[in-house]
Amino acid sequence: MTTVRQAFLILLAALVPASLTAAFHPRRPPWSQEILEPGEETLPTILSWGENTFWVDARAADEYAKEHIPGAILLNLEDWDKLFPKFLDRWSPGKKVVVYCSASTCELSREVAERLRTSGISPVFVLKGGWEAFKVRR
C-alpha cells in the first residue's frame, strides 16, 4: 500500500506545477484554435482591413432592409441578375469583398462568394459567423 501511496503523491506533486505551467506560461499552445474554411476570415481580421473592405449582404431583401452592416450592398442569389450590375457600379478592384449571411450555418454567403469569384471578382472572403458575429461585436 505504501508504494501506491508514494506513486500517488509523486504524481500529485508533478501535476501541480504542470497545471500551472499549462495555464500561465507565455508560450503555451492555445487550448482551442479557430478553424477557418478556405476563403473564410474572422471579423477582427476583416475589421483590421479598414476602408479596404467592401461588404456584401447575401441575405433576403427583407432581412437586409431591417438591418445590415453599414455600407453593405445587397447581393443575393434570388435577385442576382438585377443586383449584380448594382454591385459592379459600386465595387472597385482595389477592395477586398466580404460576403456575409445570417450565421455560420448559413451557406448563402459561400454560394454568393463563389459566384463572385467565377464572375472574375477577387479577392472575395466569407465572414465567419455571418451577421450574428457582427451583431455580437456591437
Residue 104 lies inside a defined structural domain of this protein: yes
Asked if residues 43 and 133 have their Cβ atoms less than 8 Å apart, the reply is: yes
Q: What is the pLDDT of residue 42?
A: 92
The whole-number pLDDT of residue 104 equals 75
Looking at the structure of the chain, the number of domains it has is 1
Q: Is residue 23 part of a domain?
A: no
Strand order in the sheet with 124-127: 40-41, 124-127, 96-100, 53-57, 73-74
79 within some domain: yes
In a domain, 17, yes or no: no
In a domain, 81, yes or no: yes
Query: In sequence order, what DSSP letters do the residues of 55-107 get, joined into one string?
Result: EEE-S-HHHHHH---TT-EE--STTHHHHHHHHHHH--TTSEEEEE-SSTT--
pLDDT for 138 equals 59
**68, part of any domain:** yes
> Which cell numbers in the block locate residue 35?
478553424
Domain span at residue 130?
40-137
Tell me the CATH number at 103: 3.40.250.10
Residue 109 domain flag: yes
Answer yes or no: is 21 within a domain. Answer: no
In the prediction, which pLDDT does 33 show? 65
Question: CA-to-CA distance for 116 and 35, rounded, in angstroms?
Answer: 23
- Report mean pLDDT in 10-residue bins for the chain, 138 residues: 80 78 71 78 93 95 95 96 96 94 88 96 95 83
Cα–Cα distance, 127 to 131 (Å, whole number): 8
